Amino acid sequence: MQVLVALHRASPNVVSRDDLVALCWDGRIVGDDAINATIAKLRRVSFVIETIPRVGYRLAVAAQSGHAADPAPLQKVGIANKSGGNRRLIVGGGLALGGAALAGAWWLTTQRPRPALPPAKPDVSATVASLILRANATMRRGRLENDAEAAALFQQAVDMAPDNADAWGGLALAHHFLARNGTRQNFQAERLRAEAALDRALALDPHNPLALNAKGGLFFMTKGAFQECEQAYRQGLAYHPNSNELLLGLAQPMEGVGRLREAASLMDRALAAANNKLDQAMAWISINSYTGARRWVDADRIAAEGMALFPRHPLTWLNRLYLLMFTGRAGEALDTLRDVSIRPDEVPAEEIDGMIAVATALLSGARADIDKAAAAELALAYKSTSPQGHARGLPATRTAENALTFLSAMGRVDDAFRVARDIYYAPDFSVSPVRYSSNLFQPATSAMRKDPRFAPLTEQLGLADYWRKAGVKPDYLLYPDG
């Protein structure tokens, strides 16, 4: 029924297979067989659906046609064959013939099949709603190219409906992600685009959930603006308490300020709001939040489901890998790293080699393996921030933060603090200007939190000031497991 409604609303336009997935399957991954079977069912109950090759489907509209009976034959008028026949009869007969001809022409004009009416103009509101739905589903896949595609879709929606707050709010959110996940060179331009779209969205609707999500995300990218970030998300949740997007949005800064149990509770609500239908964003954020909250059973459950649904998604794959590495399952992590069939294309071979060295060191505990892995991680972290590393596709931000985490997990705390100092403060350490601190509060970095250098680091990052002003404490100061 949802497919039929989608085709009817778009008629006479074509609906692509991607749009059908977004509209009728909530953007979940479904195979071609599911779509084909649904179209076949509709055809079996007499709906005429056209397949437009390489484009999609269209609900056919029957042509208007008339099939009236043929007209009665015209009566012949007798005309005298005599040359001297009655002229008035001849003239009258001529007039009669002319009138009959005109009547016949009129009848043919009015009774023959009429041409089909020109196609109705598409329903702009339905098209805009479809674009927004598709853009949201695309954005939640979590890759940089997905953010760019979503931004283009939201821009189409804005162009068609300049007063649509959802379109502007989504555009702000997409450009915020492009700034947050992109390169240092593009950061400022994408941020300015996000702020401009956000201003427009809030002017149209101050309570728009997509706009408030973008607002919280922009504060998340502002050094020391932890409290403003949290307030923006909570403002949105006050109006939209079951917004899956806002719950996911708030979970990440909660991880970044050391409140991972709060982040896990937010993920519980987000999953409930989505009826436990997992997508890519929920998968990797849930794994990270549950891991940080020491909810190993929940983390394993989501990791297994996420890998079954999205086996080659880089963030799902990586977060499951971290879970294995830092919960005493380094051997299983090694098996995952060596399984080429599920290895994401986006993770460079050098990064994988470094993680294999770390997993080997964690498994063996041998000093030689630890020294080898630590050297590899330090070299990789600093290589990834160089122009040569960028050219080779090494992700500077993730590689540097992973080095911090891996070094701490292997007991190389001095090296971990060295990388942390450079990530957050060194001007020539070319990572994205957006800094996350959630790695500082994961189980793998517990050795750093026990070090006297950790408290000054939280002061420098503005975390300690946030905790004081918000009247909260991070998990590591509240719970004995740190």
3-state secondary structure of 50: strand
Angle at CA of residue 343, ends 341 and 347, nearest 5°: 155
Whether residue 60 has pLDDT greater than 70? yes
Whether residue 80 has pLDDT greater than 50? no
The arithmetic mean of pLDDT across residues 253-272, rounded, is 95
Which of the two residues, 432 and 52, has the higher pLDDT score? 52
pLDDT value for 38: 87
- DSSP single-letter state for residue 347: S
The tens digit of pLDDT for each residue in 7-52 reads 887 787 888 888 888 788 765 666 677 787 788 788 777 678 888 7
The tens digit of pLDDT for each residue in 436-467 reads 677 899 999 999 999 999 999 999 889 999 99
In sign, the C-alpha dihedral spanning 277, 57, 163, 146 is positive
3-state secondary structure of 57: strand
pLDDT band at 357 (very low <50, low <70, confident <90, very high): very high
Choose from 105-109, 255-259, 344-348, 431-435 the range with maximum mean pLDDT: 255-259
Q: pLDDT over 90 for what percent of the chain?
A: 56
pLDDT value for 8: 82
With 0.75 as the threshold, say if the pTM is over it. Answer: no
The arithmetic mean of pLDDT across residues 291-318, rounded, is 94
Whether residue 86 has pLDDT greater than 70? no
Q: What DSSP assignment string belongs to 212-223?
A: HHHHHHHHHTST
Domain spanning 2-63: which CATH class is it, in words? Answer: mainly alpha
Which of the two residues, 79 and 347, has the higher pLDDT score? 347
In CATH, the number for domain 222-478 is 1.25.40.10
Helix H or strand E segment including 128? helix 124-139
pLDDT value for 48: 82
Q: Where are the domains of the chain?
A: 2-63, 222-478
pLDDT value for 427: 55
pLDDT value for 416: 95
